Amino acid sequence: MPKISGRCLCGSVSYTSTADSPAMVAACHCTHCQRQSGTAFSMNVAVPADSLSCDGDSLATYQDTGSSGMPVLRSFCSKCGSPLFSDVKAIPGLLFLKAATLDDASWVKPAAAIWGRSKQPWASLEGVPEFAQNPPRA
């Protein structure tokens, strides 16, 4: 697997993770991810929060509220608007990178699709296990 690193569209913000592999890769079909991504779902690569370092002075954060009622901090580049990662406070210790911002996303394959109850009917992912909401915690 290539190094986990990426950047925004304009290159003003970049990130690198020291994680050897992601904790999880999932497609999220929730309506908030649809609105943020501008399409049917957001492909997310979860890494330990303490493994991520970010460079650049245009990183901004929008505080959203998840279905848990807890904050979801959505970080993006304030210059070009690229969504970069989310900090879901209901799932402490992980950050969810937007896969399309990775320098090399060729290895990304979702292990699950979450929030299937709000997915667009034309956006099915063949062979990917789907959960109506979040998967049960281990």
Q: What percent of the chain has pLDDT over 90?
A: 90
Q: Domain spanning 5-117 has what CATH number?
A: 2.170.150.70
Q: What is the pTM of this model?
A: 0.92
Q: What is the mean pLDDT of residues 84-111?
A: 96
Q: Say yes or no to pLDDT of 109 above 90.
A: yes
Contacts of residue 41, defined as CB under 8 A and 6 or more positions apart, other chains included, come to: 27, 28, 29, 33, 34, 113, 119, 120, 123
Query: Looking at per-residue confidence, does 134 or 41 come out higher?
Result: 41
Q: What is the mean pLDDT of residues 89-105?
A: 96
CA 138 – CA 126 distance, rounded (Å): 24
CA atoms within 13 A on the CB side of 131: 15
Q: What is the pLDDT of residues 77-96, one digit of tens each?
A: 999 999 999 999 999 999 99
CA 47 – CA 117 distance, rounded (Å): 25
pLDDT of 135 reads 78
Q: Say yes or no to pLDDT of 114 above 70.
A: yes
